[in-house]
Amino acid sequence: MPTVSIIIPVYNEEKTIHSALERVSQAATPGWKKQIIVVNDGSTDGTRHALSPWETRCVVLHASKNGGKGAALTLGFARATGDLVLIQDADLEYSPDDYPTLLKPFENSRVDVVYGSRFLGAHLSTMFVYALGNKFVTLMTNILYNTNITDMETGYKVFRKNVLTDVAPITAKRFDFEPEFTAKALRAGYQIYEVPISYFGRQFSEGKKLTWRDGVAAAVTLLTLRWWSPRTSTRPLKERA
């Protein structure tokens, strides 16, 4: 049975990490075994203590200092052994109940990258400025990279492990991972397959970490990488067209 490596970056989520890991460990992944990798990104609250009981149930990594989501994911990717890599946030905005929907498209060998779109599925109403910023950078992505996705910034990205070779090196440290990975995957010739997911967005008062600065960084990243030269892909373009 093939394996999906689920990478969970964590920063100051002592209140949600146990529930998140319970849900991830119990979530259905039809046809796939799970490798769960948790990266504690230098948390300063009780996250490290909360992760102690999980060290015998999954891979738990502790960064010496906070490096950001991109840096935490890079640590997790290095330990991934699965055929697929799935990114899961620890704040429960994204539901592990959607794993079957995210994994189903990979039954088709032509699918290499799947995004769970919050705008195609049921979701809580979110902050207007936040939603507007998301739509703006998604529009930029579509214009610059000649694609038609609906949610570039989604936290649910799933891809075949070999894609990491084609988008390397990942230099993003914070939330600029989202535009960097998207831009490099598209430049390497991959098409993005979108599926609807549910979404339960948090308010900033509840611990949401994205700010307008991350939107600006995303726009700059998209513009900069438009002329990035990808490595030779591990699969010919004609097989991925």
Per-residue pLDDT tens digits for 154-188: 999 999 999 999 999 999 998 899 999 999 999 99
- Sheet containing 84-87: order of strands: 59-62, 33-40, 3-10, 84-87, 157-160, 113-117, 192-196
102-106, long-range: CB < 8 A, 24+ apart: 102/156, 102/158, 102/195, 102/197, 103/4, 103/29, 103/30, 103/31, 103/32, 103/158, 104/195, 105/193, 105/195, 106/158, 106/160
Is pLDDT larger for residue 45 or for residue 92? 45
Q: Residues 62-84: what's their mean pLDDT?
A: 96
The reported pLDDT for the residue numbered 47 is 96
Tell me the percentage of the chain whose pLDDT exceeds 70.
Answer: 85
The reported pLDDT for the residue numbered 6 is 98
Pairing of strands 113-117, 3-10: unpaired
pLDDT band at 205; cut points 50, 70, 90? very low
Q: Is the pLDDT of residue 206 over 60?
A: no
The set of residues, in sequence order, having a beta carbon less than 8 Å from that of 24 and lying 6+ positions away, is: 6, 8, 34, 36, 88, 96
The reported pLDDT for the residue numbered 86 is 98
Q: Which of 55-59, 172-176, 209-213 has the lowest mean pLDDT?
A: 209-213
What's this model's pTM, rounded to 2 decimal places? 0.88
The reported pLDDT for the residue numbered 227 is 85
pLDDT band at 200; cut points 50, 70, 90? confident
